[in-house]
Amino acid sequence: MPFTPLHLGPALALKSLAKHKFSLLIFAWAQILMDLQPLAVILTGKGQAHGVTHTFLLAIPIGLAASLSGRLVVLGLARLCGKKTGTTPWLTWRIAILSGLTGSLSHVLLDALIYTDMHPFWPFISTNPLVTGQLTDGGMATLLVYTGIAGLIVMGVSGLVDWIGQP
């Protein structure tokens, strides 16, 4: 299913640990860009749901596109809301690129663990050696929800500790 919010589960866990060194918005934007091709397949009925965009090779330019466009949009919105981004913005290129690539590459990895129609190592391998049949769609959904809950708990505890520690 395109645009599933479940892919944000691991991102919430990562954000809780990396804090300001990871952009949840750019990660989420990469998830959306990754699923544009499956959405087109659903709308037209033509093509393969997990086609070339769901390969590690194509995930790299998609992640970089998410990094570039996401950073520009986030910084633009921040300026519109009156946040000063200065000459050294809080959303650096390094953070944007890391977040975009993490989003696109993790998308391929997580989907490749459960979908047999994927060829994540295309054009080098035309099969999916990552799917073993031991992890079901429901099992993956449960895992993603639990990682999201864990991330939210860590964020909450971390925020509480930061708040308690302030003068």
User: What is the end-to-end Cα distance of the chain in Å, rounded?
Assistant: 47
Helix, coil or strand: residue 49: coil
Residue 109: inside a domain: yes
* Residue 140 domain-assigned (yes or no): yes
- Asked, for residue 48, whether it belongs to a domain, the answer is yes
Q: Is residue 114 part of a domain?
A: yes
In a domain, 103, yes or no: yes
More confident call, 77 vs 106: 106
pLDDT recorded at residue 85: 66
HEC string of 79-119? HHCCCCCCCCCCCCHHHHHHHHHHHHHHHHHHHHCCCCCCC
Residue 54: CB atoms within 10 A of its CB come to 27
pLDDT, tens digit, 9 for 90 and up, residues 88-106:
567 899 999 999 999 999 9
How many domains would you assign to the chain?
1
Is there a domain that residue 167 lies in? no
* Residue bearing the bigger pLDDT, 56 or 6: 56
The C-alpha atoms of residue 159 and residue 167 are separated, in whole angstroms, by 14
Q: How many Cα neighbours within 13 Å face the side chain of 60? A: 5
- Per-residue confidence at 12, pLDDT binned at 50, 70, 90? confident
Q: Does residue 145 surpass a pLDDT of 80?
A: yes
d(CA 34, CA 110): 12
Does any domain span residue 13? Answer: yes
The C-alpha atoms of residue 134 and residue 114 are separated, in whole angstroms, by 9
Confidence of residue 66 (pLDDT cuts 50, 70, 90): very high
Residue range(s) defining the domain that contains residue 132? 5-162
